Structure 1
Amino acid sequence: MKKIYLGAAYYPEMWRENELETDIARCKKLSINCLRVGEFAWGKMEPKEDEFEFEWLIRVVDQLYENGISTVMCTPTATPPRWLLNQYPETRMMMHDLIRADVSSRCHTCKTSSVMREKNRIIVTEMAKVFAGHKGIVGWQIDNEIYPYSEGCYCEQCKSAFRRYLKEKFGSIEKLNRAWGMTRWSLSYDTFEAIEPPYPGQWKHPSLRKAWRDFHYGQIKTYVEEQAEILHGYGCENVGTDMMAHNSMSYYDINEKLDVVQYNHYDAAERLPCNAFSYDFLRSVKDRPFWVMETQVGWNGSEYAEGGYRPVGNCYANTWLPMAKGAEMNLYWLFRTHPNGHELGHGALFSPAGRAYRVSEEVQKAAKEFEKCGEFLTNTRIRSKIALHYSSTAHNSYDCAPLLKGFDYRETLIQKYYAAFRHYNVDVIDTAHSLEGYEVVISPFLSTADENGLKERMLEWIKKGGTWIAGPMTDIMDANVMRYTEAPYSFLEELAGVYVKYQKPVANEIFTAQWTNDGECAVGMCYDAYECNEGTRSLARYVGGEFSPLSVITEKKVGKGKVILTGSVISHGDLLRLINKPPIAEASKNVILTERTGEECGIIAVETQNQRGYLVLDNEYTDLITGRIFSGKTDIYPYEVLVLRK
């Protein structure tokens, strides 16, 4: 859109209408240029069935636009009004105790209910008729943080739809029993009608648990797409749905027919460096700037404040980091703390009394800097030669069957792999993503590698010159959470030219390894030991423990490229040794670097750990924020941001 947007969620239905003018003045004081409205206001839009009242909201959008403030309009389907939920109780999700959800908060609808979907279509259509084409509206948000809460809905409609989903997927109950291995413990089903969903607190089959998740994610996908189709039909642009930090519900699937990836996060201050992982993932989903729809200003909270203390400057750096990584919008939750209700303890830009919190000064500072740097941000892109796989299938498979005690797939990727690349441009991608343009792809813990045509695409990409660093625990099970029985991997053993001699999924301090040429090679978490076939060379071997002297890292040339197989989690330094590519620049570990190219070129540096750091520049750069010229070694202060144009 060639513009940077900074703002917050705003709930005009909470306030007297004559307060809008004062809130607009507050926006202007902070240089805020965008507000998000409407997401919980269905009750005021349709106070009685089929009686719609949008005049109040039209006045809000009009006044914002007249004052240079854009609007993101939200569909309110996360909070149907009480009259609807009571008149049509089948629209309320049924909890696992088989009791309908109370009309007490939000996100409590059944995504299968035909009545709920019809009511959604009606309200979204009426909104589109009124607001489509309004010059003040820059985009749309569908629903809010949509997800199968409480393990999903257990109503009879959902159960029946789940069974139909399984029948369509497998064709016969015999095929399902084989795919899930149900002969074990005599669990085989006689019919699809005999299948019950997994209930919390029971030791349920991993394949059943994952299938239940996959079903609900599919329901949510169509639930969102129905609304998007209506909005697109009326010419609405930049339609998305705001999702949370994990890829359990596939970002690629949900956003397939949407226009812009929207994201919410509420991480503690010390997690700021980890947020970059999400941004590098979000940017890749649609290959266009993403939108941060919610993040905390000062503190999180519901009935009470929580989330820990945030040092001075943390909000400022949290505002800048997504923009450095390719966002074009960053909105806080929220503009003004609610005076009552479920979240009256949450932080905001302004208190219920309309007084600015201290942290709002950091927002104002960032906003003014975006005005200075806006042209550079919108005229440059992030191009990566390195990609890291982050798979929705693997996320759910490991959630249902972790194999390693206490294993957290996403956190392992962030800490053990992504953190090594704070000074590199890296795309975080799912398996459906194209491999074109990458020189190196890293795929640790990619449990199912033979999906979305990845096996065939990866082979062609390697032959053309790509380097695939695979493992550990990659290509070890299918999408039904079934381990392979012909070999430990479905195809990776043959492709890498190895024989997997031993495996041990138990972390220990006994196993050690050494590079074939020189030096220690750190290993941990899990261990595969390889015998190299002809044409495959050993890069590192076990030297301590029962697997000595078998290989832990191997390399095989395939066409113009190569496959590097790692049987264990290695250190950041060892991983960078395999990558063998220079960073954007030398810098301290607390500094995240992003290289931007396009009509202009440069580097954005963000200090993320409230410490002094440094950056070494090999050319002369101008900081667009301060106008200062930098070259050579440069000090960076706690939570400082440098926007360096070459």
Structure 2
Amino acid sequence: MEKSIPLDALQLGVCYYPEQWPETLWEDDFQRMKAMNISYVRVAEFAWTIFEPEEGVFEFGLFDRVLDLAHQYGLKIIMGTPTATPPAWLTHKYPEVLNVSKEGIAYRHGMRRHYNYSSSKYRELCARITREMALHYKDHPAVVGWQIDNELNCEISVFYSEADHAAFRAWVKEKYGTLEALNRAWGTVFWSQTYTDWEQIHLPQPTTSDSPNPHLVLDEKRFISQNTIAFAKVQADILREVVPHHWVTTNGRFGHLDNHALTDSLLDFFSYDSYPQFSTIIPTDEDEPLLDRKWSQNLSAVRDISPNFCIMEQQAGPGGWVNRMDMPSPQPGQMRLWTYQSVLHGADLVVYFRWRTAAFGTEIYWHGLNDYHNRPKRRVREAAEVGREFAAIGASLAGSQYTAHAAILRDYDNEWDGEFDVWHGPLTEKSTNAWYKQLQYHHIPADIVYLRDAVNLEQLQLYKVLVYPHAAIMTDETARLLTEYAEAGGIVIFGARTGYKTPDGHCRMQPFPGPVAGLCGITVSDFTRIKGTVPAPALRWKDEKFAAAAAEAFNDILQVEDADVEVMAEYASSYYAGEPALTRRRVGRGEAWYYGAAFNEAVVGALIGHLKLRSPVGDWLEAPRQVEIGIREGARGRYVFLLNYGDQPADLVLHEPRQDLLTGKRISGAVQMPAYGVMLLEWTS
């Protein structure tokens, strides 16, 4: 069942912390929100000490007044369960609820998310505050939905309390059944690590070289994900019981959590926190980096969880804590641009973080719409402009969905295994970025699709091309699915280090790329890491029109095993000069490609040209690389988004006239978009 937010029109919201402000400000705040067409307000996700100032004593007066006043102004409330910030009385009285570092040091009060999910006492206290809040607000007319906790696994996504070790022990016992099966899966005969009693088993602990058993480390991530979901389920079950008429979501996409499974089992839809400037503050030596536009890649992954989702926190100003994450102020127009970036990729509800910048605490530099002085400024005016636009166009766009005919495949097992395994993990980020960047600059919309048990052939056939760059862990079932996809007419593209591991993380004792060797018609006869003094060899293309490129990061030396295989490029240097580097095999009505290295932009650009991938609007629209082009399509129409990420105007050429939904003007011919400008064109043909 599709897990999308059910709205009839695009909606705007804001995060609000009334407990941090004098009550005399509340009414003016709500009046101004309403005037800006803000209709949703998120509250209370950090307010446990307000609701339960001492154990078992519950006080709702402050938020009763807030909600009553908000309702007077027609505002809808999203209630947060406040379990991300346990009060000091709780952690002092019950220190067993605290999270613990791998070295055994407990994280103390003074931050947030300093608890562990496994503590039975913490789950009990979380259940109680959730139930008390749900019972108290179940009939309040302003409340429409609930956010569970806040940003599960943010700040820290590993857990080593005694309760976690015990819970992990129970988890592996249920998974494997016997110690013999566990020892086999973890390969414990290596280095005499064999377990002879369940009590000997722990989550990874400090080792002589900080290099624990890699198969244990992979299972650790799987356990953390399932344990996090089990923690959230305690609250979700209570909310389903007490407030079945309210929707339930949570916000995130942080490490070691299967957000698809979380959403499928617990939520009505998924929510995400969008801060595009995070993509701009990491130094890069790239030519033409995507910068804040790279955030579209994150949003594409969110869209795979919920095609229509909520942005629970949308960047609304410069950001950072007192001691880290210092980001510059958005330039005029950028905040509006980022809002439409979220909308393009599937957001139907966008909630700005935050209404007013905090005057105290860790986030005094994480700026909101209003600054400390509370006087209107350009960010407020920009948000008001978006509010007016949402009021005018929101009904046309709500429920429509992003459309793409190319997809980059991912999966949680390879992500988690690749965190620890330097022989394949770093390749995935490099290749994914190269593909996403080149597809963006060629104006070819792309999806991110997570391969899970629920994904079937019909879903994959929505795409002409699938790129699965470095799936070290490859199951026979996935190989069969991709073979069926290719036979039915699809094009699937693999990269180096594909298919050499089992789901336990063991290296297969068969020719690589394992389960997809037959599909690709090749085996790997040799391989080498490209690092340090080992240079990346050049490629020699079969089609000489393609530009020179280097085969970077890792080289699989390929051996052709099937007469249907064409060698599309060879290595042009090193001891394996002349050996196949890139192959294509025609499979049924489709194709399987294998590239024995990590993808870079030059290689991806050549492949896009060879595969004749084109922008879906290329026949009638010309736009420079600085403009992102995407399409949302639904029952009310098809809309082409043009987002200019450049600090200079962008020159467009429309060979056919189109209506701009934002201005109501019909445009054609040469058109100039302003810096950080946005256009929404109706595509009626």
* TM-score, reference length from structure 1: 0.93
- 2:313 alignment partner, one of 262, 270, 294: 294
Secondary structure at 1:348 match in 2? coil
C-alpha distance in 1, partners of 2:186/2:466? 31
Find out whether 1:443 has 2:468 as its counterpart. Answer: yes
Name the residue aligned to 1:239.
248
C-alpha distance in 1, partners of 2:595/2:256? 25
Name the residue aligned to 2:518.
494
Find out whether 1:481 has 2:496 as its counterpart. Answer: no
Name the residue aligned to 1:506.
530
- 1:528 alignment partner, one of 541, 553, 556: 556
C-alpha distance in 2, partners of 1:166/1:48? 37
Name the residue aligned to 2:541.
515
Name the residue aligned to 1:612.
649
C-alpha distance in 2, partners of 1:256/1:500? 38
- 2:627 alignment partner, one of 583, 586, 591: 591
Name the residue aligned to 1:266.
275
> Could you say if the C-alpha distance between residues 428 and 538 of structure 1 is closer, same or farther in structure 2, counting changes exceeding 3 Å?
same
CA RMSD of aligned residues (A): 2.4
Secondary structure at 2:583 match in 1? strand
* 1:154-553 mapped onto 2 (5 Å cutoff): 154-199=160-205, 202-233=210-241, 234-244=243-253, 246=254, 248-257=256-265, 258-268=267-277, 270=280, 271-286=291-306, 288-303=307-322, 306-378=326-398, 380-403=400-423, 407=426, 409-410=428-429, 412-422=430-440, 423-432=443-452, 433-434=455-456, 435-450=460-475, 453-507=477-531, 509-520=535-546, 522=549, 523-532=551-560, 533-553=562-582
Structure 1 unaligned blocks of 5 or more: none
Identify which range, 67-76 or 434-443, moves more after superposition: 434-443
Cα deviation, residue 622, structure 1: 1.0
* 1:559-598 mapped onto 2 (5 Å cutoff): 559-568=588-597, 569-570=599-600, 571=602, 572-585=604-617, 586-598=622-634
- 1:2 alignment partner, one of 5, 8, 22: 8
Judge conservation of contact 2:151–2:252 (CA < 8 Å) in 1. Answer: yes
C-alpha distance in 2, partners of 1:374/1:151? 37
Judge conservation of contact 2:148–2:236 (CA < 8 Å) in 1. Answer: yes
> Could you say if the C-alpha distance between residues 167 and 445 of structure 1 is closer, same or farther in structure 2, counting changes exceeding 3 Å?
same
* Amino acid aligned to 2:72: E
Judge conservation of contact 2:479–2:516 (CA < 8 Å) in 1. Answer: no
Judge conservation of contact 1:140–1:238 (CA < 8 Å) in 2. Answer: yes
Judge conservation of contact 2:536–2:553 (CA < 8 Å) in 1. Answer: no
Which segments of structure 1 move beyond 6 Å, counting only runs of 4 or more? Answer: none
C-alpha distance in 2, partners of 1:579/1:70? 49
* Amino acid aligned to 2:149: D
- Per-residue deviation, residues 240-266 of structure 1 (Å, max 9, x unmatched): 11114x564222122222111111243
> Could you say if the C-alpha distance between residues 383 and 237 of structure 1 is closer, same or farther in structure 2, counting changes exceeding 3 Å?
farther
> Could you say if the C-alpha distance between residues 629 and 472 of structure 1 is closer, same or farther in structure 2, counting changes exceeding 3 Å?
farther
* Amino acid aligned to 1:552: A
* Amino acid aligned to 1:447: A
Judge conservation of contact 1:584–1:595 (CA < 8 Å) in 2. Answer: no
Secondary structure at 1:78 match in 2? coil
Judge conservation of contact 2:474–2:503 (CA < 8 Å) in 1. Answer: no
Cα deviation, residue 631, structure 1: 2.5
Secondary structure at 2:354 match in 1? coil
Cα deviation, residue 379, structure 1: 5.3
Cα deviation, residue 134, structure 1: 4.2
C-alpha distance in 2, partners of 1:357/1:175? 63
Identify which range, 84-93 or 586-595, moves more after superposition: 84-93
C-alpha distance in 2, partners of 1:379/1:485? 48
> Could you say if the C-alpha distance between residues 482 and 115 of structure 1 is closer, same or farther in structure 2, counting changes exceeding 3 Å?
same
Secondary structure at 1:255 match in 2? helix
C-alpha distance in 2, partners of 1:504/1:635? 49
> Could you say if the C-alpha distance between residues 621 and 134 of structure 1 is closer, same or farther in structure 2, counting changes exceeding 3 Å?
farther
Judge conservation of contact 2:98–2:161 (CA < 8 Å) in 1. Answer: no
* Amino acid aligned to 1:595: I
- Per-residue deviation, residues 22-68 of structure 1 (Å, max 9, x unmatched): 11123234332221101011111122333322243233223223313
- 2:40 alignment partner, one of 34, 42, 46: 34
Cα deviation, residue 437, structure 1: 2.1
Name the residue aligned to 2:672.
635
> Could you say if the C-alpha distance between residues 535 and 146 of structure 1 is closer, same or farther in structure 2, counting changes exceeding 3 Å?
same
* Amino acid aligned to 1:421: L
> Could you say if the C-alpha distance between residues 293 and 461 of structure 1 is closer, same or farther in structure 2, counting changes exceeding 3 Å?
same
Judge conservation of contact 1:210–1:396 (CA < 8 Å) in 2. Answer: yes
* Amino acid aligned to 1:72: I
* 1:35-54 mapped onto 2 (5 Å cutoff): 35-54=41-60
Judge conservation of contact 1:133–1:236 (CA < 8 Å) in 2. Answer: no
C-alpha distance in 2, partners of 1:550/1:99? 53
Cα deviation, residue 496, structure 1: 0.8
Name the residue aligned to 2:287.
none
* Amino acid aligned to 1:176: L
Name the residue aligned to 2:120.
114
> Could you say if the C-alpha distance between residues 558 and 409 of structure 1 is closer, same or farther in structure 2, counting changes exceeding 3 Å?
closer
Structure 2 unaligned blocks of 5 or more: 1-6, 281-290
C-alpha distance in 1, partners of 2:427/2:23? 47
* Amino acid aligned to 2:540: Q
Secondary structure at 2:272 match in 1? strand
C-alpha distance in 2, partners of 1:8/1:101? 31
* Amino acid aligned to 1:491: P
C-alpha distance in 1, partners of 2:189/2:200? 15
Find out whether 1:56 has 2:23 as its counterpart. Answer: no
Judge conservation of contact 1:280–1:428 (CA < 8 Å) in 2. Answer: yes
* Amino acid aligned to 2:590: G
